A and B are shown apart, each in its own frame.
Chain A
Amino acid sequence: MKYFPFKSFGYPVLAPHSGDQDGDEDYVGHTFEPSFYVTVPPDKPNVIRIEVENYFSVPSIKLAVTSKNAMLLLNVSCRDTFFSKCFEVPIAGGTIEMQGDMLSGQVDYSLFIRADKKFILKSDDINHEFGYKEFEVSPGSLIAQSATWRFLVNKEFYRNPRSIITINVDPELKDGEFIVSLDNPYIEVSTSAKLNKQVNGMMASEISKTYAINALYVPVVTHALTVLEQREELLENKWAQVLTSQLATIRQDHDVRDERHNEAQALFRFPLSVISMEGS
């Protein structure tokens, strides 16, 4: 068992599987790995719902919760909106809901078990390196913590990928020239005045829209996905979050080849707005 002075609680805490050698756990052979399912209910488009399913393999910890010596708390936090809240979760699992407009960008969540009263926690599976098989738990201390999971809140996630691409005119560019900037929340494409006019004209007609998408938007997204692969830090930007989330969702129901240009085509062929319409 490894000891991290700045991370260790100084007593056994049920935690997720660390990937280290078996036997490293505070409770040998046991991990805390609840399941989460994050959705936006179709009838409440401004609500974000997290469903939690619990599984306890350490009987004494389960008993601590059922006997109300401890409680399950889902902690949800969002850096961008200074949101942080703990929700009590029933032992069998449950559902919590939050208003979507309180959140933006990356949202982190994890499940904890926190002691509410003083009690003795016994388990034969407590790692022998602690030197005891029971210990006194004080109120407020944590006895289990899950891994931290995340989801992203961007309304653009539900829109056509074009919604995260902005187009402006650069008078220094000529004819079909365009340049792409990826260092901002939106993908910014600067075009010549001529190209801008042509693209706008083509986008106005359903018939020619496909040409505009294939001539400009698909190459831009292909480039963005290629650069994203090399520069992971760009994931902080909204466009990267939207594209990767949309691709992951599309891949659940459709085969998409791994090449970036195929991914870009898939994003425009199956935007989530279309998928939502197909499903309804």
Chain B
Amino acid sequence: MEIPILPQNMVAQLYKDIGVNLENYNADGFTKELLPYCKSIAGTKVPENFSDLMCYDEKKSAGELDAENSLIVYKNLQNLTPYQARDERVLSAISHVFLAKFAVFRHKIVLDEKEKKIERHFFARSNAGRDIERYNVVGRLWWHGYFVDRCREEHSLEELVHVLCTDTDFRQSFIERPGISIIPQVALAVILCKRRLDTENPDNTFFKGRTDSSPNRRWYKMINLAGGTRLYAAMSSQELFDLFWSYMGQVSGE
């Protein structure tokens, strides 16, 4: 079926009525009730059993789960454009209609802070829309897949999504730096540095810590400073990888 889209008035009403509808936010969700209110996006496709395709393996870490599910979401929401994937009407529709069961599982939406978690994971409105790639149950997974796909060149989507998502410290530190992450070649070079670091030193703690003295903070700072006097967007991913890898060596050696 085509990807549904809720009217904005309905999204606003649902958001306002979270407290009233608290019991509906469970594994069975709103699936059937909301579809009659939705229009659909022509040319797109979503499997009707989308929820069943998701990975619910409790043995996996949060990062591993996100990697698996990013790939599932990105591949199964066919022909969704970046413009549409920034639209709360689309993300709320998918979250409510298809992914309630998964949201309850992944984000542990039970009694504790239930309203706050529903606001975060079923909607996409706070922080000028930037919570789309942080919290919305479908938005965050789709954007991780898209983030890698737009920059991966000849590399494997599956492998790089795992590199991006599995270490949640790395993912968070990276995606939240738009100055670095929006340029595809820069993004790829950073992911490839992370991959090589993990291969050569599997027990590294490079991306742990968020203080000024943390290695990753110093590394990003070096990348940012060099980017002030070069046009990264016009450089190749190989040139950037060589540069960033040398910075990583410098930081690790300090």
Contact = CB atoms under 8 A, between A and B. Distances in A.
Interface of A: 6-10, 73, 75, 77-86, 100-105, 112, 114, 140-142, 153, 155, 166-170, 183-186, 188, 190, 236-238
Nearest to A82: B182
B16 interface: yes
B64 interface: no
B12 A75 contact: no
B253 interface: no
A9 B82 contact: no
B235 interface: yes
A170 B86 CA distance: 27
Given A77-B233, A142-B230, A183-B126, 4 more contacts: A81-B85, A82-B147, A101-B84, A185-B128
A77 B183 contact: yes
Interface in B135-158: 143, 146-147, 150
Contacts of A155: 83
Contact of A103 (B9, B13, B83): B83
Most chain B beta-carbon neighbours within 10 Å: one of A84, A188, A190, A238: A84
A24 B11 CA distance: 53
B168 interface: no
A81 B82 contact: yes
Contact of B16 (A9, A141, A168): A168
A81 B86 contact: yes
Interface string B178-222: 100111100100000000000000000000000000000000000
B111 interface: no
Contacts of B13: 168-169
Given A140-B230, A166-B9, A77 B129 contact: no
Contacts of B12: 166-168, 186, 188
| Residue with the greatest number of chain A CB neighbours at <10 A, chosen from B16, B84, B181, B231 | B231
A7 B228 contact: yes
A185 B90 CA distance: 14
A114 B83 contact: no
Please name the 6 residue pairs, one residue from A and one from B, whose CB atoms are nearest each other, closest first: A236-B128, A101-B81, A81-B82, A168-B13, A166-B12, A104-B86
Contacts of A77: 182-183, 233
A14 to B, nearest CB: 14
B182 A84 contact: yes
Interface string B54-83: 000000000000000000000000000111
Contact of B125 (A84, A140, A184): A184
B231 A86 contact: yes
A188 B8 CA distance: 9
6 contacts: A81-B86, A102-B81, A102-B83, A140-B230, A168-B12, A185-B129
Contact of B129 (A6, A82, A105, A170): A105
Nearest to B181: A82
Contacts of A103: 82-83
Given A105-B129, A114-B234, A188-B12, A153 B83 contact: yes
B14 to A, nearest CB: 9
Contacts of A85: 184, 233
A190 B231 contact: no
Contacts of A185: 88, 125, 128-129
Contacts of A238: 129
Contacts of B143: 82
Contacts of A81: 82-83, 85-86
Contacts of B125: 184-185
A20 B229 CA distance: 21
Contact of A83 (B82, B84, B231): B82
A1 to B, nearest CB: 17
A80 B129 contact: yes
Contacts of B85: 81
A105 B228 CA distance: 24
A140 B235 contact: yes
Given A84-B183, A104-B82, A190-B16, A141 B228 contact: no
A105 B63 CA distance: 29
Nearest to B17: A168
Interface string B96-121: 00000000000000000000000000
B228 A6 contact: yes
Contacts of A184: 125-126
